[in-house]
Amino acid sequence: MAHVLNKELAGLMGRVERLRERLSSLDPAALAARAGARYLAGIAGGGDIRFAVWGREIAVGVPGFVARDAATGAKSGPGTQALAAYYLHTTDGSPTEGRWIPFSELPDGAFYFRAFQGYTGDLLVRAFGADLDGLARAAERRGGRREADGDLSYSFFALPRVPILLVCWRGDEEFPPSARLLFDASAGRHLPTDVCAVLGSTLTRRLVEANDAGPAGGNGEAALSGAAG
């Protein structure tokens, strides 16, 4: 098992290195602008591209494009390294549209929607049931903003241009409780669809963990080994 995980991690970081090579040939100030980030130029060349991942700021060094926690300087884990590289490489700077769509409407998302719903919305229903008060507390611990959709809804910014909406319905005698994760209609212009799937899985795990009254914060490291190169 450890051998398989190490092999997947090596493959992931190989793809990240290729993305970093492509990013190194681009103007970092322009990259930061497209990403909705800040570029802090260094005195002796280079600098940092800074933006928040799940509400916690990271600093992506230029020219190496290695992500670190902006507050502590600690090197980010593989999931955040990959997410930062894919985001900077993919985003075209489009603003959010303010229109929520299901995962199935992302590019090629229809093929994977059933699986996505299984490890996101359905998993949240198994974890919380009809306890929407408990889910609300978990969402607030994870920095969610209350919205008006469904019986309960919260929005989260995974990245500066990538919000996600959690919508829940309490259920009744005819229909069981249900939950769905939705994306802004612009999401496909900022990340590949399979990386959006990882964000959904990460948010789900963060909420389930918060149900155990775990501390807020952290970037929600996730396995991106299945993401496209």
pLDDT digits (tens, 9 = 90+) for 132-170: 999 999 999 999 999 999 999 999 999 999 999 999 999
* Model pLDDT, residue 2: 45
* Model pLDDT, residue 122: 97
Residue 12: how many other CB atoms lie within 10 Å: 20
* Model pLDDT, residue 221: 58
Divide the 229 residues of the chain into consecutive groups of 10 and give the mean pLDDT of each group: 48 86 96 97 87 97 96 94 96 97 97 96 95 96 97 98 97 88 98 94 95 54 48
Judge contact between 201 and 117, C-beta under 8 A: no
Phi, psi of 53 (to 5 degrees): -115, 115
Strand order across the beta sheet in which 145-146 lies = 100-102, 178-184, 162-169, 152-159, 145-146
Residues 6+ positions from 136 with CB-CB distance below 8 Å: 146, 152, 154
Please name the residue that has the structure tokens 């190496």.
64
Global confidence as pTM = 0.88
* Model pLDDT, residue 44: 73
